[in-house]
Structure 1
Amino acid sequence: MSSNGFEGRSVVVTGAGSGIGRAAALRFAAEGANVLVADLNQETAHETVTAVRTAGGIARAVVGDLSEQAVVDEIVATATSAYGGLDVLVNNAGIMDRMSALADTEDAEWERVIRVNLTAPFMLTRAALPHMLDRGRGAIVFTASEAALRGSAAGTAYTAAKHGIVGLTKSLAVMYRNNGIRANAIAPGATSTNIRVDAEAGAHGPSVVGPHVALAGRVADASEQAAAILFLASDAAGNINGTVLPVDNGWSAI
């Protein structure tokens, strides 16, 4: 039995094709969990599955846009049918905005970032909850951001979406704490992933945010964020509910 209590448990990780999501999927599998890798990119999703299986773990993939109900339904149906239920949901998938200030944020940028970073986690959590409630237990971990704690780490759309994730986390914790469900979030600081910022040179938003982001300090490895996710999902965190854990080398303390 894994010391973290993941042996044989069913775990869904979104955005698991790369970065924090892949690191988390590998760690859960190494702890004995049965992992469902969800990602938009078919190639990277299957690379993660291959890495898990090569290491002796159990994983399968579902590929698609997490803001589409059919994809959400497939993820939950696959996890529950293949692994006998759903114990842990890691809502990690996300995209960056262009660091745009509000006046410069176009509808397309706003709608895409909110859809991927806030609406998709809402939809998947809504679909997963009945299965967790039936079992009388479940752990949900969101990847928020340093941008969820302040207004100076990203553009308007990303900041609003990640603040929304904090609200979603806390609402879940309150609504379902008497049903065996725990909801927590990590707030990563600067982390080495494949997410890149397509900021417009000289635009107001990047010019204002840039000096604040420069205070982030050391860039974390994705595995450091994954370790925090595993802790919050583990039995060791059994009385931790509704918290947002900064994993940022003290950036949020400045």
Structure 2
Amino acid sequence: MERVVQVEGLRKVFDAGVVAVDGISFHISRGEIVGLLGPNGAGKTTTLHILLGLITPTSGSVRIFGTDPFSRQRGSILERINFTSPYVSLPYSLTLRENLRVFAGLYNIRDAEEKIDELLNMFGLSDIGDEPVRRLSSGQITRLGLAKALLNEPELLFLDEPTASLDPLMAERTRRLLIDINRSRGMTILYTSHNMKEMEELCHRIIFLNKGRIIAEGSPQEILERYGEEELERLFLRIAEEGER
């Protein structure tokens, strides 16, 4: 199966010698939903930002669709991926529709207005499409970010805690939507979350990071059996507590 993401010996050392990512290697095959899991400071966000080409690694290699995201060919990657995070702000003075129109233009989306209407409806935002973003709740902003991330129907989707500020009903709808999109379109998804049950429900594989290193990799069930636990949440707490000692 085609490897959409290939990471070899990835290492990132920030100023003052802080090692955020410490020589990790992994791959993601086409059509997989892979969860990047770990306590705060484990290296999840740094790894995600390197894959997106936002920060350069100290050493190691990254290939997205076989291409180096730091090369001159990175444009061929950008049109095939998308990303959302509740920690990335959209222009507050623009309305929801205006925000989506800007990104639709960047991605050269055909029939942009039709696509925007479809996504606003999908995430329950149709009634407030002409409201400025500054008036939205955190949950509504998260939903807008998800709508933006699906505009170009990406082959590879990076999701950083996509349901963190959603109410339980919308979070469940979002999980069902992601599963449906993955199955119907074969969309590959790299997913970070602190919601353990969500990880178990969504992910084909989990990459468990701690202190910048991969300490476990496999299906949720394989990892639980390896550590002798019944729930990912128990395992997460156990590893986080051990890391503080």
Question: TM-score normalised to the size of structure 2?
Answer: 0.35
Higher helix share: 1
Higher relative contact order (CA 8 A, sep 6+): 2
Higher strand share: 2
Larger Rg: 2
